[in-house]
Amino acid sequence: MSRATISILVMVLLCAAGAKAQDQSKPLTETQKIEALIRHVEELKDATFIRNGREHTPADAARHMRDKWQWKKSEIKTADDFVNIAASKSSVSGKPYMIRFRGGKEVKSADYLREQLKNLQKS
């Protein structure tokens, strides 16, 4: 390969790397934040979600939140709306969703997800 060809390849690679770095610095959209919260729930290890007194796996809880998001999409404009409307309490009973962690500690889903949202917005 000639020196000119190598120089051109290096410039192309540097431009591509710069474009990728610039994309990573863009703030997340509200949809991306909601998707990240749902993925976080789905990937929680050793957690049990409690909805209307019944226990659910993280995967079931994430599926329920996603379904509720779709159902209430006209009301949910932001990730904070998502937490308040789709991920904090039962639309049927009004009871808060809870998360029980290993060791028995329970927290309200809304409180936990608001903290996760703060972490997302910092990074």
Q: DSSP for 59-96?
A: HHHHHHHHHHHHHTTTT--SHHHHHHHHSSB-TTT-PB
Q: For residues 7 and 88, what is the distance between their CA atoms, to the nearest angstrom?
A: 55
Q: Quick check: is 86 in a domain? A: yes
pLDDT of residue 7: 44
Residue 44 pLDDT: 96
pLDDT given for residue 1 in this prediction: 58
- The answer to whether position 19 is within a domain reads no
pLDDT at 20: 47
List the one residue out of 35, 65, 48 whose CA is nearest residue 102.
48
Q: How many residues does this entry show for the chain? A: 123
Residue 3, pLDDT score: 56
Residue 100: what pLDDT?
98
pLDDT < 50 regions, the chain: 4-10, 12, 19-22
Q: What's the pLDDT score for residue 5?
A: 41
Range of the domain at 102: 30-122
CA dist list (Å): 33 to 49, 94, 102: 20, 25, 26
In 3D space, the residue among 61, 64, 66 whose CA is nearest the CA of residue 44 turns out to be 61
Determine the pLDDT at residue 50.
98
In a domain, 37, yes or no: yes
Residue 22 counted as domain residue: no
Q: How many domains does the chain have?
A: 1
> What does the alpha-carbon distance between residue 12 and residue 29 come to, in Å, rounded to a whole number?
29
Q: Are strands 98-101 and 54-56 parallel, antiparallel or unpaired?
A: unpaired
